[in-house]
Amino acid sequence: MLLWFAGGSFAIVWQVFRDTAIDYRLVMLGAILPDVVDWPFGGARVFHTLLASVVLLFAVMALTGRRRALRRRLLALPIGTFLHLVLDAMWTRAHIFWWPFLGRHFNGHGLPSFSHPVAGLVVEELAGAALLVWAYRRFRLAEPARRSTFLRTGRLGRDLADPAPEAGQ
């Protein structure tokens, strides 16, 4: 379940912020991070909790101090982990989402990503793939210079940002 989180987080962040300077690589990394970290431990654990994303956000804020450019770049990581919680609908698993406030045990639940029927998993992955294809085309990443910039910095071409709406519209 990588494409669902990578494509979904990319599309959501673009639709919300419309910012070409966000490091979209870190957004997508943050969005898959909870599954990557928790999977070896048998399922949804600490990284699938709201607390983990909040702690990560505070850590980025505290550790970057006055380094504004670094802070701006690293904020993409907790944004991605928060979006993982949204795309996984973790609020429906209150005992995990609100850990440790509703109990300290995870009760052996597997990864929510794999709790859907196979057809649901396929649909999610196809949707994630479609969103990634959309991003590839929308931001013209087939062009070597744009692709290189994206792979190096995670940024998108400023010239491809939507024009600002005119006043009164």
pLDDT 10s digits, 54-108: 999 999 999 998 899 999 999 999 999 999 999 999 998 898 999 999 888 877 6
Tokens read off for 84? 């993982």
Q: Name which residue leads in pLDDT, 151 or 164.
A: 151
Q: Name which residue leads in pLDDT, 65 or 143.
A: 143
pLDDT 10s digits, 114-129: 887 899 899 999 999 9
pLDDT 10s digits, 12-35: 999 999 999 999 999 999 999 999
Structure confidence at residue 88 (pLDDT) = 93
48 and 102 Cβ atoms separated by less than 8 Å: no
Q: Where are the domains of the chain?
A: 3-156
26 and 73 Cβ atoms separated by less than 8 Å: yes
Question: ∠ CA(49), CA(55), CA(59), 5° rounding?
Answer: 150
CA distances from 55 to 51, 98, 102, 162 (A): 6, 13, 18, 33
CA distances from 115 to 17, 25, 109, 139, 140 (A): 31, 26, 9, 33, 35
Closest CA to 76 of 21, 148, 18, 147: 21
